[in-house]
Structure 1
């Protein structure tokens, strides 16, 4: 029987990894690494740091060149995402079939947690279901950026007896959802927080969480949004990429 492991490696700090994930990394025979065309060296180095910290034996690595992500400009978002996932599924299926032998353990390192705004789990579930030879799939949870953000700001994500919502930024273009007072926002390429009505809202923002470049800003949205925009722009100019997450909270 072949095994495929999806290993959550946390939001950035190599120590933000569970003992179960350490054991999974040590069991791997093959590591599948998805390489994005625009990915910079420090992201590659972060993966290497996790492996170097938690494994001493040599590891066979298979690199997968990620298909382009057309939905950023495509008129039909859902259709573009479906096409991209189908391309990933075909490529990954071929790679696993060729590289993962009988009795071997393969794995993907997944930023944050495999179950939160991560397509790897959905694609690998289809891969396993359609594989001509049996493969077992196991998921090892990790520390998501949402929980890392709360820890860094020393706040709970929810307030007593009240709901908290996790949302991509594109769903907040018209403002906070009705009936929800706390929203964790991810995937904000267009700084949606700066375009919504700030009245009665607080912002808890974090970028590069768990790394030496970590940035944290918090306060009333009306007072800190310009600072976040400035700091964010400077960080992208300096590093060339941005991973940020934030909590919007009604006062």
Structure 2
């Protein structure tokens, strides 16, 4: 039976790998690296640096081209499901083509596999594909430090105040936050800095990009004072590096 490990590697700093992640990397035969194009080559380099440090000298890397995706579809959910399905098929083909029947493979997952990441859904699809072929695929999940933790640590701010709830959402869904759930919002995947449309000028924001990497940037303050600075900084950094991963905490005063 093959084993597939989903290893959370945190926000990019090898020093933030958990001991469980280090052990799992050392125990794995083949690493499946998803190629998302030249613009995200630095993300692949960070993963390879981790493998150089922690994987066995006889480990192998298999690069899997990421399928194309419509970034502005008429039906967002349907397009994401189609994209994930094709990605799972490609990963499974790479797995069966490179890993012996009793071997192990791993996907190094940025952050944590459970938080706004598709790896668990991909693994479920791969398990179903294996079962249809009369094979078994065992899946192990190793949690990682989240970008939420990396942001609050860098900004030295707790994610919530005493007794208050936390709402985690995306930029696409930010305007749909229920009334009363907006005291402490963690917002991910917001390419358009949607807080400029939804927040009040005196709302507080802690925004971080490239957390845990050499490019880390954190900007904090009232939205009315730093909102446009964040948007301009995000646009500049994305153009400079070709990619960006950012997150922010939005809080009512």
Q: Report if TM-score (shorter chain) is over 0.5.
A: yes
Give, in whole Å, the separation in 2 of the partners of 1:199 and 1:40.
Answer: 34
**TM-score, reference length from structure 2:** 0.94
Residue-by-residue CA offset, 1:158-193 (whole Å, 9 max, x unaligned): 22211101101111136x531111010000111112
Q: What does residue range 93-104 of structure 1 map to in structure 2 within 5 Å?
A: 93-104=92-103
Give, in whole Å, the separation in 2 of the partners of 1:234 and 1:189.
Answer: 13
User: Alpha-carbon deviation of 1:234?
Assistant: 2.0
Give, in whole Å, the separation in 1 of the partners of 2:110 and 2:52.
Answer: 16
Q: Which residue is 1:49 aligned to?
A: 49
Q: Which residue is 2:238 aligned to?
A: 236
SS for the counterpart of 1:40 is: helix
User: Alpha-carbon deviation of 1:126?
Assistant: 2.1
Give, in whole Å, the separation in 2 of the partners of 1:195 and 1:242.
Answer: 21
User: Alpha-carbon deviation of 1:58?
Assistant: 2.8
Q: What does residue range 1-251 of structure 1 map to in structure 2 within 5 Å?
A: 1-37=1-37, 39-70=39-70, 72-131=71-130, 132-173=134-175, 176-180=177-181, 181-251=183-253
Residue-by-residue CA offset, 1:16-36 (whole Å, 9 max, x unaligned): 100010001001111111111
User: Alpha-carbon deviation of 1:56?
Assistant: 4.4
Gaps of 5+ in 2: none
Give, in whole Å, the separation in 1 of the partners of 2:135 and 2:56.
Answer: 30
- 8 Å contact kept, 2:7–2:142: yes
Give, in whole Å, the separation in 1 of the partners of 2:55 and 2:97.
Answer: 24
SS for the counterpart of 1:173 is: helix
Residue-by-residue CA offset, 1:45-84 (whole Å, 9 max, x unaligned): 11111112223413211111011121x2111111111111
SS for the counterpart of 1:15 is: helix
SS for the counterpart of 2:116 is: coil
Residue-by-residue CA offset, 1:64-108 (whole Å, 9 max, x unaligned): 1011121x2111111111111111122222222222212211110
Residue-by-residue CA offset, 1:172-216 (whole Å, 9 max, x unaligned): 136x53111101000011111222242441000000001111101
Give, in whole Å, the separation in 1 of the partners of 2:105 and 2:55.
Answer: 15
SS for the counterpart of 2:236 is: helix
Give, in whole Å, the separation in 1 of the partners of 2:238 and 2:90.
Answer: 31
**TM-score, reference length from structure 1:** 0.94
- 8 Å contact kept, 2:8–2:143: yes
CA separation of 1:217 and 1:103: change in aligned 2, threshold 3 A: same
Give, in whole Å, the separation in 1 of the partners of 2:69 and 2:129.
Answer: 24
- 8 Å contact kept, 2:27–2:55: no
The farther-off stretch of 189-198 and 222-231 is 189-198
The alignment covers a number of residue pairs equal to: 249
Give, in whole Å, the separation in 1 of the partners of 2:92 and 2:39.
Answer: 22
